[in-house]
């Protein structure tokens, strides 16, 4: 399904209610059908019911590795599902989180990694790229 389709389904997962609200509104305004979850367990259940076309997953939620775990579970249960991982690791810790090599990106389990704060235009560009026809290209944090 392409982003031009009026109702591409997006699963948005973050423990930050403000992030969820802001991006859900913008995604819905752009024509996406959006479901949100605030934790890994709810997201996994929702993904099984909702069958998203794309998932946007926060890296750190209840447990610091919840985003990694969720991304890997989603990829295993829904092969071909594009996943965008969003993270405030650099802003919160000062440590750079930028998987650059194909091996690092594979380990992360996401098709793209975006550093928070995220501009909606940046997020939308990644969504359009990942939902474009053909296999998704894997991008780094600033691609």
- Give pTM, 2 decimals: 0.81
pLDDT at 89: 60
Domain edges within the chain: 9-131
pLDDT digits over 108-128, tens only?
Answer: 678 888 988 999 999 999 999
Closest CA to 56 of 102, 17, 114: 114
Q: Which residues of the chain have pLDDT under 50?
A: 1-5, 93-94, 136, 141-143
* Residue 142: per-residue pLDDT: 47
Share of the chain above pLDDT 90, in %: 56
Residue 16 — φ and ψ, nearest 5°? Answer: -95, 105
Matching CATH number, 9-131, of 1.10.10.10, 3.40.50.300, 3.40.50.2300, 3.40.50.620: 3.40.50.2300
């Amino acid at each position: 399904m392409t982003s031009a389709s009026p109702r591409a389904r997006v699963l948005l997962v973050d423990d930050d209610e403000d992030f969820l609200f802001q991006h859900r509104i913008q995604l819905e305004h752009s024509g996406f059908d959006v479901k949100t979850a605030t934790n890994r367990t709810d997201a996994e259940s929702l993904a099984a019911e909702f069958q998203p076309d794309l998932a946007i997953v926060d890296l750190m939620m209840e447990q610091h590795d919840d985003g990694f775990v969720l991304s890997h579970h989603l990829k295993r249960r829904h092969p071909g599902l594009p996943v965008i991982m969003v993270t405030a690791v650099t802003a919160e810790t000062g440590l750079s989180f930028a998987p650059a090599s194909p091996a690092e990106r594979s380990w992360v389990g996401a098709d793209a990694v975006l550093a928070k704060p995220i501009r909606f235009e940046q997020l939308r560009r990644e969504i359009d790229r990942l939902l474009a026809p053909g296999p998704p290209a894997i991008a780094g944090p600033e691609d």
